[in-house]
């Protein structure tokens, strides 16, 4: 019987040779089990080829990547990569500006773990947000970052353009074992894994001040929330001038927004689209009277942080990234989080729906250092990094062990995300680049600016224009 450690090393060597062979080439199929797992001992499949010890990859288990033996094997492969560039590995890492300090701390830990006299390891960070990283890579893949953080709705385009490298089997076995089935499905396309899941909070829900809304039933209806906020000279923040947020009204009204096989489709120019627009007009009538509907040019994060700090906001539709700032502003005892409220749509209270998804870490298909890049991407998303990211940035993990941490389990944002999940739409299957280039955000902004005072004909004309942009 071959030991688990030796099986893992055999798989590592096979996977690393595959990674090196893939550098600069289009991705090849990497099949794996998509049933998820519940512990680091869970089975995770690669393909059905022999791994060098008489057993198939399909029987490979998740393993400890950080044993001395495994660490040294990875160092040896890094040394081989460095030999091709005069003994120096130079990586570029893109991350959001807000994450830069945290990412630098994890890079330092990575360099300490894999430092070796046989090569020099240099990793430079650049602030490129998750929302734009995929597009930047597609502009010029060979000049892009070796490792980059991105939102899951960009995955399809990256795969179609052959700009992102498949995750090698060894690391993928661990990712499958350590995450839920939903998470696994988010980073693979047609059974091939293409990224490392980092956080489960690429979506939005409701943060609120419990001193204003003492009970969760007080945040059940958007109309009621606005009235309560107005009575206390405060406001509810919901950026209708942003196509990411105002999609909540379209989804809830029954508008179909889909991105399939590289094609964007939607049904804005319909009765459902009109009902959504009228619902936004109804809410926008309260601008200055308990409601704030745009960021005023400062950006959502800045507007929300400032509003809670100066006491002008009672609630905001936003994501976990602003959780720490809101908590600091109003105190942990007053920090509440819940799924989105209902809104009045076509005469009925309808549960507002949302985009929901994941933040991922990808490896450039054209990196000169595929072994080092894959190892760094895995390190930045392992259990320890996800827990540290939560403690530092308040971002909800995907890793099952990290989710069991007492602080994560008790975070009101985690429950809000779980409660919103049945009413959320995956970005990867809903929107592509064309959606963001339409006037769906600007249209919502106009509704806010005019405080909902727009004729039915104007609304229908704008919806028809958005539909034409989608269909063209």
- Given a contact cutoff of 8 angstroms between Cβ atoms, the answer to whether 384 and 184 are in contact is no
Segment among 172-181, 246-255, 278-287, 455-464 with least mean pLDDT? 172-181
- Residue 9's pLDDT band (cuts 50, 70, 90): low
Helix (H) or strand (E) holding 147: strand 147-151
Parse the chain into domains and list their residue ranges. 4-47+84-200+358-404, 205-356+420-471
Pairing of strands 359-363, 354-356: unpaired
pLDDT tens, residue by residue, 315-356: 999 999 999 999 999 999 999 999 999 999 999 999 999 998
3-class DSSP assignment, residue 367: coil
Under the banding of pLDDT at 50, 70 and 90, the label for residue 22 is very low
pLDDT of residue 202: 84
* Residues whose CB is less than 8 angstroms from the CB of residue 211 and which lie 6 or more positions away in sequence, other chains included: 330, 334
Integer Cα distance of 129 and 148 in angstroms: 9
218-257 burial, b for 16+ CB within 10 Å, e for fewer?
bbbbbbbbbebbbeeebbbbbbbbbbbbbbbbbbbbbbeb
Which range in 10-14, 366-370, 429-433 is most confidently predicted, on average pLDDT? 366-370
pLDDT value, residue 8: 58
Average pLDDT over residues 250-265: 93
Q: Does domain 205-356+420-471 have CATH number 1.10.10.60?
A: no
Cβ-in-10-Å burial (0-12, 13-18, 19+) of 80 comes to middle
27, pLDDT greater than 60: no
The yes-or-no verdict on residue 6 having pLDDT over 50 is yes
Token pair recorded at residue 438: 């339409």
Share of the chain above pLDDT 70, in %: 87
Chain centroid offset of residue 454 CA: 35
pLDDT of residue 108 exceeding 60: yes
Same CATH fold, 205-356+420-471 and 4-47+84-200+358-404? yes
Distances (CA, A) of 288 to 234, 379, 446: 9, 47, 15
Contacts of 294 (CB under 8 A, 6+ apart): 239, 240, 241, 445, 448, 449
pLDDT at 54 over 70: no
Q: Indicate whether 305 pLDDT > 90.
A: yes
34-38, 193-197, 226-230, 362-366: lowest mean pLDDT where? 34-38
Rounded-to-integer distance, Cα 468 and Cα 438, Å: 9
The band of 470, judged by pLDDT with boundaries at 50, 70 and 90, is very high
Written as six digits, the tokens of 215 are: 């009970």
Name the one residue in this structure whose structure tokens are 């399939």: 260
> Band of the pLDDT at 94, cuts 50, 70, 90?
very high
CA end-to-end span of the chain, whole Å? 61
Instruction: Tell me which of 3.40.50.1000, 3.40.190.10, 3.20.20.140, 3.30.450.90 is the CATH number of domain 4-47+84-200+358-404.
Output: 3.40.190.10
What pLDDT is stored for residue 147 in this prediction? 98
- Give residue 32's pLDDT: 31
Question: Using CA of residue 359, residue 360, residue 361, residue 362, what is the dihedral sign?
Answer: negative
State the pLDDT confidence band at 7, using cuts at 50, 70 and 90.
low
Nearest to 335 by CA among 192, 202, 209: 209
pLDDT above 60 for 5: no
Model pLDDT for residues 261-288, shown as the tens digit of each residue: 889 999 999 999 999 999 999 999 999 9
pLDDT the model gives residue 156: 87
Average pLDDT over residues 290-312: 95
Q: What is the SS3 string spanning 5-44?
A: HHHHHHHHHHHHHHHHHHCCCCCCCCCCCCCCCCCCCCEC
Alpha helices in 290-396 (DSSP H): 300-309, 323-330, 370-381, 383-393
Checking if the pLDDT of 116 tops 90, the result is yes
The SS3 call for residue 438 is coil
């Amino acid at each position: 019987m071959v030991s688990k450690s030796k099986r893992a090393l055999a798989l590592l060597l096979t996977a690393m040779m595959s990674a090196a062979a893939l550098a600069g080439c289009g991705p090849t199929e990497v099949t794996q089990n998509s049933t998820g797992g519940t512990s680091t001992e869970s089975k995770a499949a690669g393909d059905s080829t022999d791994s060098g010890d008489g057993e198939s990859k399909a029987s490979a288990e998740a393993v400890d990547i950080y044993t001395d033996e495994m660490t040294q094997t990875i160092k040896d492969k890094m040394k081989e990569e460095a030999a091709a560039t005069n003994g120096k590995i130079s990586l570029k890492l893109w991350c959001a500006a807000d994450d830069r300090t945290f990412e630098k701390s994890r890079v330092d830990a990575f360099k300490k773990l894999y430092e070796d006299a046989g090569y020099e390891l240099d990793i430079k960070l650049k602030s490129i947000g998750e929302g734009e990283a995929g597009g930047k890579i597609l502009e010029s893949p060979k000049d892009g970052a070796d490792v980059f953080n991105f939102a899951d709705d960009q995955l399809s385009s990256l795969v179609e353009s052959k700009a992102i490298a498949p995750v090698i089997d060894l690391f993928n076995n661990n990712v499958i074992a350590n995450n839920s089935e939903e998470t696994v499905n988010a980073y693979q396309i047609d059974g091939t894994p293409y990224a490392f899941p980092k956080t489960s909070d690429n979506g939005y829900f409701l943060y609120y001040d419990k001193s204003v809304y003492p009970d969760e039933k007080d945040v059940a209806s958007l109309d009621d929330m606005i009235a309560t906020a107005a009575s206390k000279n405060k406001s509810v923040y919901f950026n209708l001038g942003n196509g990411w947020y105002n999609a909540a009204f379209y989804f809830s009204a029954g508008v179909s927004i889909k991105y399939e096989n590289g094609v964007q489709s939607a049904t804005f120019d319909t009765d459902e689209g009109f009902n959504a627009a009228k619902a936004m007009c109804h809410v926008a009538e309260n601008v200055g009277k308990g409601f704030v509907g745009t960021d005023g040019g400062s950006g959502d994060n800045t507007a929300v942080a400032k509003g809670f700090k100066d006491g002008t906001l009672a609630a905001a539709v936003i994501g976990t990234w602003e959780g720490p700032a809101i908590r600091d502003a109003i105190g942990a005892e007053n920090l509440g989080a819940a799924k989105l409220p209902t809104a009045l749509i076509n005469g009925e209270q309808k549960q507002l729906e949302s985009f929901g998804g994941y933040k991922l870490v990808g490896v450039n298909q054209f990196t000169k250092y595929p072994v080092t890049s894959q190892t760094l991407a895995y390190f930045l998303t392992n259990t320890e990094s996800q827990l540290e990211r939560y403690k530092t940035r308040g971002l909800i993990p995907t890793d099952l062990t990290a989710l069991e941490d007492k602080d994560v389990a008790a975070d009101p944002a985690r429950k809000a995300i779980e409660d919103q999940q049945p009413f959320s739409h995956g970005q990867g299957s809903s929107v592509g680049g064309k959606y963001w280039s339409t006037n769906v955000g600007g249209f919502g902004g106009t509704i806010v600016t005019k405080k909902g005072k727009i004729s039915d004909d104007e609304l229908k004309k704008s919806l028809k224009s958005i539909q034409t942009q989608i269909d063209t």
